[in-house]
Amino acid sequence: MDFSLNEDHLALADAVRRFCDGEYPAQHRGNTESEQEAFRRVAGMADMGLLGLPFEAAYGGSELGPVEIMLVAREFGRCLGGGHFLSGTVMAGQLLARLGSNAHKENWLPALTQGSLQMALAAYEEGARYEWQRVRTRATPVAGGYALSGRKSLVLHGDTAGLFLVVARTAGELGDRHGLTVFAVDAGTPDLHVHGFDTLDGRRAANLVLDGVVVDAGRVLGPLDQAADAVESALDAGAAALCAEVVGALEALMEHTVDHLRTRKQFGVPLAKFQVLQHRVADMAIAIELLKSMDCAAAMALAGEDAGVRRRVVSAAKVLASQQGRHQGMAAIQMHGAMGMTDECRVGHYAKRLMVIGQLLGDATYHLRRFDAQQQN
């Protein structure tokens, strides 16, 4: 049992924090990023090696693991940034790295790592909520390949992605784990329609319509019908990164809130003198410590071999991160009073991101149920 961070970990976290402080000025955090900003930030992340963090050196990666991803995601949570680090590197990239052939990896991982290609995981479908195995999108064999038909929803950063990893059904019934296959589909492929939209936290996502999209057989990642474990792992890696973002966001909220309580005066004294507010701050501090521990545990579980442990620990972490992130976000608004509800004040931007995180990749209820199902086994 060892939760300690080594020097390399600390140096990485420190470097990412400096990058974020430069790229995401405090008073603009949470604002929608312009194309120029996005371009510059992606280039910066690529320069630092963040976009290739978990990949093999042969593909330009840094060969680092879930603990490092946690540390980077925490810093991105702190500055409300990170672009497609989560959707591209953590989820789609790691899925590709796990399932893809050497040729697939050579083809796409260096580009992802260098920031020239954005990648997105298209897993969930309309009406399936968080049941990622409820896949209706079908891939039917055609001459030389497959035709994909169906709809994919809430593909994070989908409208800027150049490559989609689409989970489609090649066998089995709706809801079966068996029969799922991952296809690599270029954004420009005919009959693929990408409908981008804004999200609550000022970011972008897309719904995909695949209307008989024909892909070459060489676009199948890994063995047919057997992608479920890999997809679930990728989603768990994403969920753990979101949990790490929550800690960073709460640390930032804590700083904002403490600063406000110490400077804002009412009834002739700083708000910090009121015990009822002190106790809210104490609860926020406790939440941060608990979530930090769960993030570390989730990272270690992702690095481990046991899928049961991974499911259990990641779901536990996501339950608490969803609940506490949202709760503390709203508490921070309350402590800021009406100012906290303005668009100018950054607190609301954090609260919105925390609310979105709560709803992404399985909400608290979904993960509570998943945790309990592991318990039964």
Partner 1 sequence: MRMEFSAADEAFRLEVRAFVRSHLPADIKRKVELGLRLEHEDYVTWFRILEARGWITPGWPVEHGGPGWTHVQRYIFDEETLLGGAPRIIASGIQMLGPVLIAFGTEEQKRRYLPDIRHSNTWWAQGFSEPGAGSDLAAVRTSAVLEPDGKHFIVNGHKVWTSYAQWCPMMFALVRTDPTAKPQEGISFLLIDMNAPGVEVRPIRMLEGGADLNEVYLDNVRVPVENLVGELNKGWSYGKYLLGHERTGIAGIGSCKQQLARARQIAQQLGLDGDPLLRARLAQFEIELMALEFTALRLLSANQASRMPAVEASMLKVRGTELRQAIYMTLVDIAGPDAVPFSLQALELEHLDEGVVAEELVALAANCLDSRKITIYGGTSEVQRNLIARAAMDA
Q: Which is nearer to partner 1, 146 or 350 (CB)?
A: 350
Q: Which stretch binds partner 1 (CB under 8 A): 15-23, 102-110, 130-138, 368-376?
A: 368-376
Residue 226 DSSP one-character state: B
Q: How far apart are the first and last CA of the chain?
A: 25
| Of residues 195 and 369, the one with the C-beta less far from partner 1 | 369
Tracing tokens 């989970």 back to the chain, one arrives at 167
Contacts of 368 (CB under 8 A, 6+ apart): 315, 319
**38-67 mask for partner 1 (x: CB under 8 A)?**
-----------------------------x
Q: Are strands 163-169 and 180-186 parallel, antiparallel or unpaired?
A: antiparallel
Q: How many whole angstroms separate alpha carbon 365 and alpha carbon 130?
A: 10
Place of tokens 């990239």: 93
Closer CB to partner 1, residue 193 or residue 262? 262
CB of 276 to partner 1, least distance (A): 10
Measured from the CB atom, is 107 or 323 closer to partner 1?
A: 323
Number of residues that bind partner 1 (CB under 8 A): 41
Reduced to 3 states (helix: H, G, I; strand: E, B; else coil), residue 191 is: coil
Sign of CA dihedral 254, 260, 266, 270: positive
CB closer to partner 1, 72 vs 319: 319
Beta carbon of residue 235, minimum distance to partner 1 (angstroms, whole number):
19
Please give the residues from 273 up to 332 whose contact with partner 1 meets the rule CB under 8 A.
Answer: 275, 278-279, 281-286, 289-294, 296-297, 299-301, 304, 313, 316, 319-320
Q: Is 3 in the site for partner 1 (CB under 8 A)?
A: yes
The reply on whether position 92 binds partner 1 by CB under 8 A is no
Burial class of residue 375 (count of CB atoms within 10 Å of its CB; 0-12, 13-18, 19+): exposed
Contact indicator for 264, 279 with CB cutoff of 8 Å: no
Task: State how far the Cα of 30 lies from the Cα of 249, in Å rounded to an integer.
Answer: 11
Q: Least distance in Å: CB of 68 to partner 1?
A: 11
The number of angstroms, rounded, from the C-alpha of 190 to the middle of its chain's C-alpha atoms is 28
The yes or no reply on residue 2 touching partner 1 (CB under 8 A) is yes
Please report how close the Cβ of residue 323 comes to partner 1 at its closest, in angstroms: 9
Cβ atoms of residues 251 and 288 within 8 Å = yes
Helix/strand/coil for 199: coil
For 44-77, b/e burial (b = at least 16 CB within 10 A) is bbbebbbbbbbbeeebbbbebebbbbbbbbbbbb
135 vs 294, beta carbon nearer partner 1: 294
What's the token pair of residue 65?
């693991």
Q: How far is the CB of 257 from partner 1 (least distance, A)?
A: 9
- Spatial distance between the Cα atoms of 210 and 95, rounded to a whole number of angstroms: 21
Q: Work out which of 128, 272, 307, 330 binds partner 1, going by CB under 8 A.
A: 272
Q: Which of 214, 258, 307, 330 binds partner 1 (CB under 8 A)?
A: 258
Q: Which residues bind partner 1 (CB under 8 A)?
A: 1-5, 67, 254, 258, 261-262, 272, 275, 278-279, 281-286, 289-294, 296-297, 299-301, 304, 313, 316, 319-320, 368-369, 371-372, 375
